[in-house]
Amino acid sequence: MAYTPIGPLFTDLYELTMAAGYYFRGMSGSATFSLFARDCTERNFFVAAGLEDVLEELSTLKFSTDDLTYLESTGLFSADFLSHLKETRFTGEVRAMPEGTIFFPDEPVLEVTAPIIEAQIVETYLLNTVGFQTLIASKAARCVHAAAGRPLIDFSLRRTQGRDGGLKVARSAYLAGFSGTSNVLAGRRYGIPVSGTMAHSFVQTFLDEEDAYSAFAEAFPENSVFLIDTYDTLEGARLAARVGTAMGQRGASLKGVRLDSGDMTGLSRQVRRILDRAGLPDVQIYASSGFDEFKISEVLDNGAPIDAFGVGTKMGVSADAPYLDVVYKLVRFDGRDVRKLSPGKVTLSGRKQVFRRSDPKGGYRADTIGLAGEQLEGQVPLLRTMMFEGKMTEPLPSLEDIRSRFRKNLSELGEDYKSLHEKKTYPVLISKKLQELQER
Amino acid sequence: MAYTPIGPLFTDLYELTMAAGYYFRGMSGSATFSLFARDCTERNFFVAAGLEDVLEELSTLKFSTDDLTYLESTGLFSADFLSHLKETRFTGEVRAMPEGTIFFPDEPVLEVTAPIIEAQIVETYLLNTVGFQTLIASKAARCVHAAAGRPLIDFSLRRTQGRDGGLKVARSAYLAGFSGTSNVLAGRRYGIPVSGTMAHSFVQTFLDEEDAYSAFAEAFPENSVFLIDTYDTLEGARLAARVGTAMGQRGASLKGVRLDSGDMTGLSRQVRRILDRAGLPDVQIYASSGFDEFKISEVLDNGAPIDAFGVGTKMGVSADAPYLDVVYKLVRFDGRDVRKLSPGKVTLSGRKQVFRRSDPKGGYRADTIGLAGEQLEGQVPLLRTMMFEGKMTEPLPSLEDIRSRFRKNLSELGEDYKSLHEKKTYPVLISKKLQELQER
């Protein structure tokens, strides 16, 4: 489906008042801003996401007549400045890490270079888009790692922070290795495989639990997953086994049962036994309810025979770290490198590049933040020119390609950094030339 | 601005597979679902929000041709069922607490009664919409209480969880007493007052900090708030005072200065002194950076002379409790009250009403959850019929009216329940009749 721009009013007012200030003084020099995430106690690595929306939005940036009428109504802006906005398009350059790239605190994941007004007014959109999608991809990646190859389905839509949140969660989780989503609109929009089972309400609308399963099996002879904990989980498992056996006899097949409450390890073992004894070893056990990387890892460590997980709320809002400290900092203006020195919030000045050094087997050794023009021998630059003079420089990659890139990135990241519980800082160095620039 | 429907594919797949199951069996009986929030350790009360979007979406519910084409492509659904969906509209009833109402755990904030398929397929949308907007309004209300009358501005847009998240945060925070937002699109869409200052980048684009202030003052002679911590906060304050004095001399006036880092209590005192000594007692001190109800209350307890707060990320994602455990439970189907008994997740069956008892001065004493048909003497029923046979029963209230309702509700809530740090459970009773129903 085609991208729908949100438009340039999706911004903090101060971006526009600052733009008016620049305009008033006739300032139109070129500015470079670096977008990066500061350190996050709960994460050892981040997964770049959101670039597709960034490139789509910047390509179509334009104030509509309604936008300008509204801005005029605030009484804050001069007619001259509003005329200027009317003609404003994004004509600059975007250098960024492709989606699915693993990156680390303080590394610019995206740099914009454009006339100051253009570069300034897109700040809020860029931070929101890259920050949120990266947040979710980074959380989802941890879940995927914890599940050790078992499929994960995004079940978060009912509790995501809004509509767009729900769609972007489905995409970001899929990008980071989830197998599918319950979110039908995300299925349609992004081509993500959709999947789903049944709710307690379905079982309750029938006078008899077994009848509920039978009814569902009739409608979905190959795609039924019965939710078995509405009344008593083990009794639910026995009824499911009975219906599953009957399905087999008429050439259909029960796909799975789902646990949604109680002691997951104990119940999954007992349910597995019930299914196996009924001659249904291929019927899978799905589990949902409060899963995140920690709970997945816990039940698997305990040996729970769970085949697939529905992962909802805690992933969908990144509950243990519900925002990233992403910032968009001016690093160069009108030919001059600039730097901010507020307490505890130092920024590296200058247009930058991030270089990655790998060992002979491909494993990441260390990154170096350097100057945009530098070349560090044997190291791979991660920021690529994605937009030049306001136009995309290459076709957008498919979501499957992004997913492959992420999978490769994750396999090349050292196991230590994938720890769910321990903070382990990946080495990020500063190149000599960038260091010299800071000292000047 | 007119409401834009998200459409019925904004749903979990299982809502549609269950609907197919009902359809397959010819089940079309009327169902009632209760939407409520389970207890939340971090909140003593909730603020109802999201109903406007609910009523707008349900009024326009319709599967488009594209929606149906997509569903067909999944291979899961029969042509008969898809034809049924094509004709499906929401024809049911919605009883709900008006937005801005304070409510408590386990109290239904909304009940839907409709033919089972219609009532089922809207579940995900209702949970997402009411859950998220209530989450943010409830967090914002705590900030408003902590600020004790000082204005709060929503600065969260750059870190909200997506686009829609940003818009709904602005609306939900305003509803719960915020004074405005930096979010320009929310200003346009909801008529919320917009406000903003400047970023560090503005100061940095000038070779001289004082010149940056002067440039801004020229563009905004009555609406300038200077950000003074780009280099050295106290020096910034002195430069701001100098520019402010010059503004006064030419008939303009500096509105304020903003602190965005460092020790807020100490700095605000020193900055206040600098401004006062310069003869600028009316220039206000704005503070931002990491504020939520806890930090606001802390700096005010310390006597910080801060006049207004920019409240961003932590409110905009409800960082200490980034989701509510909202559920949508079947309580009645086809003339039969139903109940679910999964461990730790009991639901009260039956169509319900929530009654509020107040003391003679209006203060809330206790709520009682009863049956929909009950009348409890001297107690006010909180759920109102908002939609009947798929049509809204009354015009939507204005956002200002909702804001007033919230303000009144907050003033009637006992101070104990407003504690930021202590869990205090408001009494929610069960009526005799509802109790009897559960025992049956």
A-chain residues near B29 (CB < 8 A): 205
SS (H, E, C) chain A: CCCCCCCCCCCEHHHHHHHHHHHHCCCCCEEEEEEEECCCCCCCCEECCCHHHHHHHHHCCCCCHHHHHHHHHCCCCCHHHHHHHHHCCCCCEEEECCCCCEECCCCCCEEEEEEHHHHHHCHHHHHHHHHHHHHHHHHHHHHHHHHCCCCEEECCHHHCCCHHHHHHHHHHHHHCCCCEECEHHHHHHHCCCECCCCCHHHHHHCCCHHHHHHHHHHHCCCCCEEECCCCCHHHHHHHHHHHHHHHHHCCCCCCEEEECCCCHHHHHHHHHHHHHHCCCCCCEEEECCCCCHHHHHHHHHCCCCCCEEEECHHHHCCCCCCCCCEEEEEEEECCEECCCCCCCCCCCCCCEEEEEEECCCCCEEEEEEEECCCCCCCCEECCEEEEECCEECCCCCCHHHHHHHHHHHHHHCCHHHHCCCCCCCCCEEECHHHHHHHHC
* Dist. CA A261–CA A229, nearest whole Å: 7
H helical segments located in B200-292: 200-205, 209-219, 233-249, 264-277
CATH topology for B13-136+321-345+382-419 is nicotinate phosphoribosyltransferase (3.20.140)
Stretch A294-302: mean pLDDT, rounded?
98
Residues A87 and A68 sit within 8 Å (Cβ to Cβ): no
CA separation for the pair A317, A127 (Å, rounded): 17
Summarize pLDDT for A98-116 with one digit per residue, the tens.
999 999 999 999 999 999 9
Give the minimum alpha-carbon distance from B29 to chain A in angstroms, rounded to a whole number. Answer: 9
What are the Cα distances from residue A409, in Å, to A4, A105, A107, A428, B297? 30, 16, 16, 17, 44
Over residues A290-296, the mean pLDDT reads: 98
Q: Read off the pLDDT of each residue in B124-141 and give the average, rounded to a whole number.
A: 98
> Rounded CA gap, B113 and B31, in Å?
5
CA-to-CA separations, B68 to A30, A216, B7, B278, B390, in angstroms, rounded: 48, 21, 12, 68, 22
pLDDT given at position B343: 56
The pLDDT of residue A344 is 59
Two tokens, residue B329: 């439970």
Residues B208-259: tens digit of each pLDDT: 999 999 999 999 999 999 999 999 999 999 999 999 999 999 999 999 999 9
Is the pLDDT at A346 greater than 70? The verdict is: no
Report which DSSP code applies to B159: G
Residue A345's pLDDT is 63
Mutation target among B153, B204, B337 for the A interface, most CBs of A within 10 A: B204
Angle at A275 between CA A272 and CA A276, to 5 degrees: 80
Read off φ and ψ for residue B152, nearest 5 degrees: -120, 135
In degrees rounded to 5, what are phi and psi of residue B155?
-115, 20
- Name the percent of chain A lying above pLDDT 70: 98
Residue located via tokens 């559960």: B438
Mutation target for B interface from A35, A61, A161: give the one with most B CBs within 10 A. Answer: A161
- Tokens at B263, concatenated: 């020790």
Per-residue pLDDT, A190: 97
Nearest in space to B241 (alpha carbons), one of B215, B214, B221, B222: B214
pLDDT at B346 over 80: no
Residue B353 has pLDDT above 70, yes or no: yes
Chain A, 29 to 68: residues with Cβ < 8 Å from chain B are 29, 31, 33, 66-67
Q: Are strands B380-381 and B352-358 parallel, antiparallel or unpaired?
A: antiparallel
What residue ranges do the domains of chain A occupy?
Answer: 13-136+321-439
pLDDT of the residue at A261 = 94
Inter-chain contact A159–B127, Cβ cutoff 8 Å? yes
Q: Does the structure show a pLDDT above 70 at B342?
A: no
Q: Is B20 on the interface with A (CB under 8 A)?
A: yes
What is the average pLDDT score of chain A? Answer: 96
| Residue A343: per-residue pLDDT | 56
Longest dimension (CA), chain B: 81
Which among B70, B167, B230 has the least Cβ separation from residue A188?
B70
A342 interaction partners in chain B (CB closer than 8 Å): 200, 229-231, 260-262
β-strand pairing of B152-154 with A336-337: unpaired
Place of tokens 């379905």: A202
Residue of A201, A222, A263 best to disrupt the B interface, most CBs of B under 10 A? A201
Summarize pLDDT for A184-241 with one digit per residue, the tens.
Answer: 999 999 999 999 889 999 999 999 999 999 999 999 999 999 999 999 999 999 999 9
Encode pLDDT of B165-187 as tens digits.
Answer: 999 999 999 999 999 999 999 99
Q: Which of B133, B120, B135, B54 is nearest to B329 (CA)?
A: B120
Q: Which CATH number fits domain A13-136+321-439: 1.10.3720.10, 3.20.140.10, 3.90.45.10, 3.30.70.640?
A: 3.20.140.10
Over residues B142-149, mean pLDDT:
98
Q: Please count the helices (runs of H) and the strands (runs of E) in chain B.
A: 16, 19
A23-61 burial string, b = 16+ CB within 10 Å, else e?
A: bbbebeebbbbbbbbeebeebbbbbbbbbbbbbbbbeeb
pLDDT average, residue stretch A145-159: 98
Q: Which two tokens stand for residue B86?
A: 């094509």
Q: Are the Cβ atoms of B317 and A319 closer than 8 angstroms?
A: no
| Nearest C-alpha neighbor of B327 from the set A32, A107, A164, A201 | A201
pTM (predicted TM-score): 0.98
Strands A180-181, A152-154: pairing kind: parallel
Q: What is the pLDDT of residues A56-76, one digit of tens each?
A: 999 999 999 999 999 999 999
| Dihedral over Cα of B276, B281, B286, B287: its sign | positive
Min Cα–Cα distance to chain B from A358, Å: 33
Look at residues B74, B99, B70, B101 and name the one whose alpha carbon lies nearest to residue B86.
B70
For chain B, how many residues are written? Answer: 440
CATH topology of domain B146-316: TIM Barrel (3.20.20)
Query: Is some CB atom of chain A closer than 8 A to the CB atom of B218?
Result: yes
Rounded mean pLDDT, B382-407: 98
Amino acid residing at A3: Y
* Distance separating alpha carbons of residues A11 and A327, to the nearest angstrom: 15
B281 contact partners, CB below 8 Å, separation of at least 6:
B275
Structure confidence at residue B103 (pLDDT) = 98
Taking the Cβ of residue A341 and every Cβ of chain B, the question of whether any pair is shorter than 8 Å is answered with yes
- In this prediction, residue B440 carries a pLDDT of 79
**Mean pLDDT across A395-406:** 98
Residue-level pLDDT at A340: 66
Task: State the pLDDT confidence band at A342, using cuts at 50, 70 and 90.
Answer: low
Residue type, A340: K
The answer to whether the Cα torsion of B385, B40, B299, B155 is positive or negative is negative
pLDDT digits (tens, 9 = 90+) for A235-273: 999 999 999 999 999 999 999 999 999 999 999 999 999
**Residues 6 or more apart whose Cβ sits within 8 Å of residue A231:** A203, A209, B340, B341, B342
B335 in reach of chain A (CB within 8 A)? no
Torsion of the alpha carbons at A160, A165, A168 and A170, rounded to the nearest 10: 20
B70: distance to nearest CA of chain A, Å? 6
CA angle A222, A225, A226 (to 5 degrees): 130
B345 pLDDT above the threshold of 90: no
Distance from C-alpha of B131 to C-alpha of B319, rounded to nearest angstrom: 15
Q: Residue B355: pLDDT above 70?
A: yes
Q: What is the mean pLDDT of residues B340-360?
A: 84
Residue type (1 letter), B363: G
Instruction: Find, among A88, A65, A66, A114, the residue nearest to A16 by Cα.
Output: A88
Which of A98, A42, A89, A116 shows the shortest CA–CA distance to A293?
A42
DSSP symbol at B277: H
Which residues are paired to B429 by β-bridges? B368
More confident call, B47 vs B196:
B47
